Chains A and B, each alone.
Chain A
Amino acid sequence: SYVLTQPPSVSVAPGQTASIPCGGSNLETKSVHWYQQRPGQAPMMVVSRDTDRPSGIPDRFSGSKSGSTATLTISGVDAGDDAVYFCQVWDGTIDHPVFGGGTMLTVL
């Protein structure tokens, strides 16, 4: 089955830029979506379709993709960005979503 690989954790100092990668085979052929999950809350989409930002999401959040790796970038991080971030694609061969394992972002 299709696998998305994320690092378990990323740490960054306040005000700096965090980059969270998500790798998968033939990822260039799939749309990648990113979700933020704060402790005790449901996931919330922060980037859709590789690079789009849903309404209400600050422009500090951006997405990119190159080859088999998609990246969520958060600039000027603050304590409110402390959360787990998941990437997600749709696997059309088996007709269901695939989630990455999640990356815990810690703002030092």
Chain B
Amino acid sequence: QVQLVQSGAEVKNPGASLKVSCKATGYTFTAYYIHWVRQAPGRGLEWLGWINPNRGDTKFPQTFQGRITMTRDKSTLTTHLDLSGLRPDDTAVYFCARFSSNYYYFDNWGQGTLVSVSS
């Protein structure tokens, strides 16, 4: 069955960088875009961007331009989210999600990675 398994919780100091991983199993890795979404405590879902695992192209919202990078490793079926210049308001649960390009929805999600940014 389709599974997205994310890396474990992280505690970071302000100004540090973050790397979260998302390993895909149970389907053809290159056939589905992966999106990243985060959720601050008690808040809604905030879209962080997507990566095309086939070609590696990416797209991010303007608010994260210059701070965010997404990469993929076809050999390990893993996508990575990198976020630099961490601030306390980056504290959130970070999710990866498989995206259906036919129907524009998220049909499978990772379990989430809790990231805490605090001095």
Contacts and interface: CB of A to CB of B under 8 A. Distances in A.
B44 A97 contact: no
Given A43-B45, A102-B44, A48 B103 contact: yes
A99 to B, nearest CB: 4
Contacts of B46: 99
B74 interface: no
Interface residues of B, number: 20
B95 A43 contact: yes
Q: Provide the main secondary structure of the chain B interface.
A: strand
Contact of B95 (A42, A95, A96, A98): A42
Q: Provide the main secondary structure of the chain A interface.
A: strand
7 contacts: A42-B111, A43-B106, A43-B109, A45-B107, A86-B45, A98-B47, A102-B44
Given A41-B111, A99-B44, 18 more contacts: A31-B103, A35-B106, A42-B95, A42-B111, A44-B109, A45-B106, A49-B103, A86-B45, A90-B104, A95-B59, A96-B47, A97-B104, A97-B106, A98-B47, A99-B45, A99-B47, A100-B44, A102-B45
